[in-house]
Amino acid sequence: MVGMIISSFGDSFRVAADGEEYTCRARGTLRQGSLSPVCGDRVTVEISDEPVITSVLPRKNEIVRPPLSNLDCLVFVCSTVEPAPNLLNLDKFTAVSVYKGIQPVIVFTKSDIADPEKYVSLYRGIFPVFSVDNKTGAGIDGLLKELEGKFSALAGNSGVGKSSLMNCLLPGLNAKTGEISRKLGRGRHTTRRTEVYPLPNGGYLADTPGFAAFSTDRYDIIYKDDLPSCFPEFSEYIGACRYPDCSHTKEQGCAVLEALGAGKIIESRHRSYLAMYEEASRLKPWEHKL
């Protein structure tokens, strides 16, 4: 049968298939190959005395740290205060997400402490963006609607309220986590386990220990020629530039810069683009071959 890996710990996997969950091992030849199973993988399973994963079906995308595949959304959690959001890092993460074909979703927490509108307005119309109050649950329903029927994962630095948001999105999460830990016979706070939970309205949400900063390591490098397409708000202007190889940094006749001057592109977003373009300009493709 075909199922989805919803938990992994070492060489032990839980697979949801046909309304049931199975604890599986990966077939030896599969473990020795280059494609190791990860959470989110669609896999074939043989049910016998000990269920075995026999193959991993083709992935539509994957991220390396943490190891996840077939994501529909990456939810980047930022707080409005304590700590204030690092917009450059956020823009880097959303660009990598777009590059990998994963929909970025941005959530600003602690709306009970500070008005998030000044941050929300920067991304409105570019990505799905929400403000939530983890204490009252205000804003959660809209976020749940966005994630409905999709496979998503949360990313957020320490102190931004990611754990509290998880608890709002997944009522009873703490009890469920304890139950899974007992089934696997593992410590609850291990950093090696990845869990995927069903959302109340359909879809799945990954809770991955160590997902404090979405990795932009060498597997996620964006070269300068690919960078403009990772900023969706540039798309309607790119083809209108005077020069076909326009970098959208300083050229005369650049439609992106004209849109920036007209207030159609947010200044902080373009500043992030310039910083990323400078970094990308120093990359040498032959130095970063996998």
What does residue 14 show for φ and ψ, rounded to 5 degrees? -105, 130
Query: CA 21: distance to chain centroid?
Result: 25
Q: How far apart are CA 279 and CA 113, in angstroms?
A: 35
Burial 236-253 (b: 16+ CB within 10 A, else e): ebbeebeeeebbbeeeee
Residues in the chain: 290
Tokens 């071959």, residue?
289
Q: What is the pLDDT of residue 33?
A: 59
Question: Within the chain, which residues score under 50 in pLDDT?
Answer: 175-191, 210-219, 290
- Amino acid identity of residue 7, one-letter, is S
Q: What domains are defined for the chain?
A: 2-57 (2.40.50.140), 63-207 (3.40.50.300), 221-287 (1.10.40.50)
**pLDDT in the model for residue 219:** 45
Q: For residue 107, which of 160, 68, 171 has the smallest C-alpha distance?
A: 160
Cα 63–chain centre separation: 8
Beta-bridged to residue 105, according to DSSP, are 75
Question: In terms of pTM, does the model score above 0.75?
Answer: yes
Residues in CB range of 255: below 8 A, 6 or more apart: 237, 238, 239, 240, 241
